[in-house]
Structure 1
Amino acid sequence: MARLIHSMLRVLEEERSIRFYKETLGLRVVDRLVFETFTLVYLAGEDGPFELELTINHGRTEPYDLGTAYGHLAVSVADAQAEHDRLSAAGYPVTPVKTMTHGSGENPRVVGTFFFLTDPDGYRIEVLERGAPGRFI
């Protein structure tokens, strides 16, 4: 059976992105590989095997076109409102906290409480409070 191990994002500025992911999500560099035309930086959190791979193409100066196919990465946190308050106070771009429900009537099911954070290259990150539907959050 396949197991997800990483997701890759192309970024313009290595140090800016490393700093962003460390300060916002607590990710740290676990490996860095320099090739002739690009560098790969692998970031991971303390409690999981999944990694975020940052690809820095040497000499690239123009922002990447994210297109309409990219959706978002998602991370889970214990308290979405507390994380929102922390990131907002630090000046990071965040959307308002929302709670999504499914169904109608007297007992709609809460699907999740979340907000979105945007990284320096424009990638959106869903910050979802633990306890929402999903196998590993």
Structure 2
Amino acid sequence: MKFTFVHNNINVLDLDKSLDFYKKALNLAENRRWNNPGFTLVYLGDGHSQHQLELTWLKDRTAPYDLGDNEIHLAFEVDDYAAAHALHRQMGCICYENEGMGLYFISDPDGYWIEIMPARENHAHH
């Protein structure tokens, strides 16, 4: 039996704001969307891996999501760590830095955390 990762899903309050953020911060592009009367699903990809981020927008939702302790995160490797850090600093979305481990986190419009680490061979993912 073989399982293959396909996507992660998060719910977002403002779809356009989230799409703008993920495009600017991580260069994720919309692969497809599924419009329904009460909700829209948008699948974002990085253009080279098969893994996608699925954004769910519930159209009648007005209250921000309560992420609780928010003890989950997505993680991305980047080939130009310094340029990514500069971009995210300029965007004001860096929420935590761990210089000792050589990584940092950004926060999306809904408060989800995303780990950013330099691309390097044979490293342990966090």
Q: Which position in structure 1 is the counterpart of 2:56?
A: 55
Q: Does 1:129 align with 2:118?
A: yes
Contact in 1 for aligned 2:70/2:112 (Cα 8 Å) = no
Task: Work out the CA distance in 2 between the residues paired with 1:92 and 1:67.
Answer: 19
How far apart, CA to CA, are the structure 2 residues paired with 1:128 and 1:76?
Answer: 5
Q: State the percentage of identical aligned residues.
A: 36
RMSD of equivalent CA atoms: 1.7
Aligned length in residues: 123
Q: Which runs of 5+ in 2 are unaligned?
A: none
One-letter amino acid of the counterpart of residue 78, structure 2: V
Larger radius of gyration: 1
* Aligned structure 1 segments of 4 or more residues deviating by more than 2 angstroms: 79-82, 90-97
- Preserved contact between residue 81 and residue 97 of structure 1 (Cα < 8 Å): no
Gaps of 5+ in 1: 101-112
2:46 is matched with 45
Q: Is the 8 A contact 2:33 2:43 kept in 1?
A: yes
Deviations 1:6-29 (A, max 9, x none): 000000011000000000000011
Alpha-carbon distance between aligned partners in 2 of 1:29 and 1:99, rounded to the nearest angstrom: 34
Match of 1:36 in 2: 37
Q: Distance in 2 between matches of 1:99 and 1:82?
A: 19
SS at match of 1:63: coil
